[in-house]
Amino acid sequence: MTIEYQNDPKLENAALDALWATAWGSSSPRDFQPILSRNLAHVGAFSGTRLVGFVNVAWDGGIHAFILDTCVDPAFRHRGIASTLVERAKILARERGAEWLHVDFEPHLTRFYRKLGFAPTEAGLMRLGD
């Protein structure tokens, strides 16, 4: 099965909602268009016309970019898709002027992001809401 990667593909909410449902277990429909319209870049992984992987690159409008929402459909995991998505996102962020690329992740993803070149940092996190 061939996976095709696209930089900044036009993505409909339905395709992202379907991926979120399988990758994150989220069944709440969302409007992704405001996010996609303001980001620095995003990369999609496709099996045929089906979106099976995604990564978003948010930014501060200057030199800092942020990897967000890296996800792959569980049926397509362990094939290097997430690594390829992040590698492509790194290239796009650099080409588009970012000098620093940040990522926050859960502890079980430490090895994954370290292998991709992300160094450990200290950071803080606060949940704003319920």
Domain ranges of the chain: 4-115
| pLDDT given at position 75 | 96
The CATH number for 4-115, chosen from 3.40.630.30, 3.20.20.70, 3.40.50.1220, 3.30.300.10, is 3.40.630.30
d(CA 33, CA 38): 9
Torsion angle, alpha carbons of 17, 91, 35, 126, to 10 = 90
Please report, in tens digits, the pLDDT of each residue of the chain (130 residues total). Answer: 799 999 999 999 999 999 999 999 988 899 999 999 999 999 999 999 999 999 999 999 999 999 999 999 999 999 999 999 999 999 999 999 999 999 999 999 999 999 999 998 888 878 887 6
Q: Tell me how far apart the alpha carbons of residues 81 and 97 are, in angstroms, rounded to a whole number.
A: 25
CA angle at 110 for the pair 97 and 41, rounded to the nearest 5°: 25
* Residue-level pLDDT at 1: 74
Contact partners, residue 7, CB within 8 Å, separation at least 6? 41, 42, 43, 88, 92
